[in-house]
Amino acid sequence: MTPLNRFVFLFNLIFPALVSVATPANHAQRHAEKHAQENMAVILVPGAFHKAIAYEQVIPFLEKAGYKHNTAVDLPSVGALKGRDADIKAVRDVLSKGLSQGYDTLLVGNSYGATVIGEAVKGLQNQTVRPHCRSASKFNSFLSAIKKRFMKKETSPAPEGRILGLLFLAGYIPFISEIEHPELKVDIRTIAPSFFAFSSDGKVTPNGDPLMPLSKSFYNHLNASYAAYWTDRLDFSSFEALAANATHVPYMGDFNCAYVVCTKDNAIPKALSDAFLSQGGAKFKVVELESDHVPMLSHPEEVADLIREAAGEQKPFEITKGHE
């Protein structure tokens, strides 16, 4: 083989692999990004009183953006006298199945659902994605391209997904002190919003204050007819689930955590969200969204954008204002 022929041979062998990662905006990278989204799962957890259907408007926006594996979870404690463990198991089962199939997973929780997703990742710190790992994705794509072109095919081990992070939407989350000193936890009945009604049969409903109807407490960004529509679809929550002691705080550095402060939220006072976020040892990305307490219903497209950003898309969304 002449030197010229040898050069042409090597050029044809190596150049395609280098080109596939050399230009950020090229077809190969777009394909890699699409592949990453298709291998990503999003778990959507509603809050107290709400069913999984609360996310029905968010999912189409995610699917349009390339996220095909989206699961909204019905909490067993909504409409039945189940404890928090049943809620955690419902989410953990979905999470474990996805991780075992190789899906990188983002968990999203609204209101009480934020506590549930925090418990669901307990013990999975070794399967999380550190913030700096996301920046290595392009280099990993380069290595993958080289391996596919030059390495012999090998038997791959069973796929194992990673936890991308947790996104709390107007979340009720446990304080660090509740984990360190559970005996000091305050009775929920003394700190719950005025519209929480506690009955002797273990049920909690959100219609306990005539001055704070659901159109004001939950749905103040929905028109009257739409607020009434969703009010009719609420159910009771179990006191046992809402009042249980938390056993895990995920936001002290083990997981990527983002907290969305809904600035028109009438269910979580600003003082409470400020208290969550200002704790010593707490590590959040904080984002503000001009929304009521249930943004999945009032601002579904914006919520989908926040999910995409939390999943790792490096896109500046105008609706957000975040800081570390």
Number of Cβ atoms within 10 Å of the Cβ of 130: 12
The pLDDT averaged over each successive group of 10 residues in the chain (324 residues) is: 58 52 49 66 99 98 96 99 99 97 98 98 86 45 48 57 97 95 90 96 97 97 98 98 97 97 95 95 97 98 97 60 39
Query: Strand 163-169 to strand 104-110: parallel, antiparallel, or no bridges (unpaired)?
Result: parallel
Q: Contact 91/117 with Cβ under 8 angstroms? A: yes
Least Cα distance to 54 among 74, 40, 70, 69 occurs for: 74
Give me the pLDDT at residue 185, please.
87
- Burial group, residue 88, by CB count within 10 angstroms (0-12, 13-18, 19+): buried
Judge whether 1 lies within some domain. Answer: no
* Residue ranges with strand state E in 52-91: 69-72
**How long a stretch of residues is the chain?**
324
Judge whether 18 lies within some domain. Answer: no
Give me the pLDDT at residue 16, please.
53
Domain range for 295: 31-173+184-323
Judge whether 132 lies within some domain. Answer: yes
Judge whether 287 lies within some domain. Answer: yes
For residues 97 and 101, what is the distance between their CA atoms, to the nearest angstrom? 6
For residues 294 and 303, what is the distance between their CA atoms, to the nearest angstrom? 10
Question: C-alpha distances in angstroms, 91 versus 77, 122, 234, 261, 300?
Answer: 12, 12, 20, 23, 21
Judge whether 23 lies within some domain. Answer: no
Q: Which amino acid is at 182?
A: P
Judge whether 115 lies within some domain. Answer: yes
pTM of the entire structure?
0.81
Chain position carrying tokens 């003082």: 271
Q: Contact 219/213 with Cβ under 8 angstroms? A: no
Instruction: Indicate the number of domains in the chain.
Output: 1
Judge whether 75 lies within some domain. Answer: yes
* Residue ranges with strand state E in 141-219: 163-169, 197-198, 203-205
Instruction: Copy the structure tokens of residue 126.
Output: 């070794």
DSSP string, 112-128: THHHHHHHHTTT-GGGB
Give me the pLDDT at residue 35, please.
54
For residues 171 and 293, what is the distance between their CA atoms, to the nearest angstrom? 9
Give me the pLDDT at residue 143, please.
47
Q: Which residues on neighbouring strands pair with residue 43, listed in sequence order?
A: 71, 107
Judge whether 16 lies within some domain. Answer: no
> The domain that contains 297 carries what CATH number?
3.40.50.1820
Q: Contact 195/206 with Cβ under 8 angstroms? A: yes
Least Cα distance to 150 among 14, 5, 12 occurs for: 14
